[in-house]
A and B are shown apart, each in its own frame.
Chain A
């Protein structure tokens, strides 16, 4: 992690503008670009803090990128931070789509563009996987965490469980587990 830079409204705006402009596929496909901006490049959050933000973003209604922008903006610069982060993440899409909606008559995209996106999509999968591996290396470090991950993986593979429920379940489990430990006199 680099030395944290002091966030300003302008750096916050441009960081989220890049996130909005360079993420394809929506949802968690945005994560590698966000991680690079927020954690690696600007040092605004540690990897753990970033994972906490993701948990909140995924268990709140709405788009993950918007939720992440709101939470990060609020944490770094309060309400003005929220406003510029949302503007940053929304503007690239808004501008591009407005132009397309105004000019497009046939829905068929040009062949070159289609091929370009056929190439991008498998790379998006790789980016998401790389993010899972990178974050996993820092999080799956003890038996407790590995066990939790294994249970979550098992449940998601065999059922169609909603991410928000999985997150809420894990939070409740962590809370109860800690209460049990404190009763035995163990501090977190």
Chain B
């Protein structure tokens, strides 16, 4: 049954990708294009382009698009369930452990040591995305202006993004 196959494929993708959306892209390509041949290479590139220009997690965008192309609305739902279920099992287990041992000094000190590393990971994400997107003076200008506004004002990031988009339409 195609829905079950979609679910299993996306379950595999969800279960073996750590580190979020972009880490999933090679797995999605291998599973959908090479293993299952549900999508052509061109369709896969289209999905990536669409995921780039639509909001939301890349994994959900890819699952919805591929699921729909393979077998319509229910296919999209089956693929999304496949992506979500591994997360659900892993994170609920972690949540249980954290709650069970809440206040235990050793858990506290483990989490305390993780926080500075998370700060670095966020910083590195900015560096990685920055290398791909800040390519000229115009994009650098938008980035600097946006950073200044974020640090100096209480501007809503959603408004900031919309403003940057409008600036893009004007200057590019």
Q: Which residues of A contact B (CB under 8 A)?
A: 18, 20-33, 36, 48, 51-52, 54-67, 70-71, 74-75, 82, 86, 89-90, 92-94, 96-98, 100-102, 104, 107, 109, 112-136, 139-140, 145-146, 148-149, 152-153, 156, 162-164, 166-167, 169-175, 177-179, 182, 187-188
Contact = CB atoms under 8 A, between A and B. Distances in A.
A51 B86 CA distance: 22
Interface centre among B14, B95, B160 (most CB of A within 10 A): B95
B158 to A, nearest CB: 5
Nearest to B133: A121
Given A173-B113, A175-B113, 19 more contacts: A20-B60, A22-B158, A27-B20, A28-B125, A56-B91, A59-B18, A61-B86, A62-B83, A63-B58, A70-B88, A92-B55, A107-B49, A118-B172, A166-B117, A166-B121, A167-B118, A167-B121, A174-B114, A178-B105
Contacts of B20: 26-28, 58, 63-65
A174 B52 CA distance: 38
Given A63-B60, A65-B57, A133-B151, A71 B120 contact: no
B116 interface: yes
A136 B119 contact: yes
B109 A61 contact: no
Contacts of B87: 60-63, 66-67, 70
B59 A66 contact: yes
Interface in B65-124: 65, 68-69, 73, 76, 80, 83-84, 86-88, 90-92, 94-95, 98-99, 105-106, 108-124
A71 B94 contact: yes
A63 B21 contact: yes
B41 interface: no
Given A94-B80, A100-B65, A125-B133, A70 B168 contact: no
Contacts of B112: 145, 174, 188
A153 B123 contact: yes
A58 B64 contact: no
B19 A162 contact: yes
B50 A97 contact: yes
A26 B58 CA distance: 5
Contact of A33 (B139, B144, B158, B169): B158
Interface residues of B, number: 94
Contacts, number: 368
Nearest to B132: A121
Nearest to A130: B150
B84 to A, nearest CB: 6
Contact of B56 (A54, A96, A145): A96
A131 B124 CA distance: 12
A22 B161 CA distance: 8
B166 A119 contact: yes
Contacts of A96: 54-56
B120 A152 contact: yes
B2 interface: no
A123 B164 contact: yes
A48 B158 contact: no
20 contacts: A24-B53, A56-B98, A60-B94, A63-B59, A67-B90, A70-B95, A82-B92, A93-B54, A97-B60, A97-B68, A98-B68, A107-B50, A109-B49, A116-B169, A119-B142, A125-B134, A127-B150, A127-B161, A153-B123, A166-B117
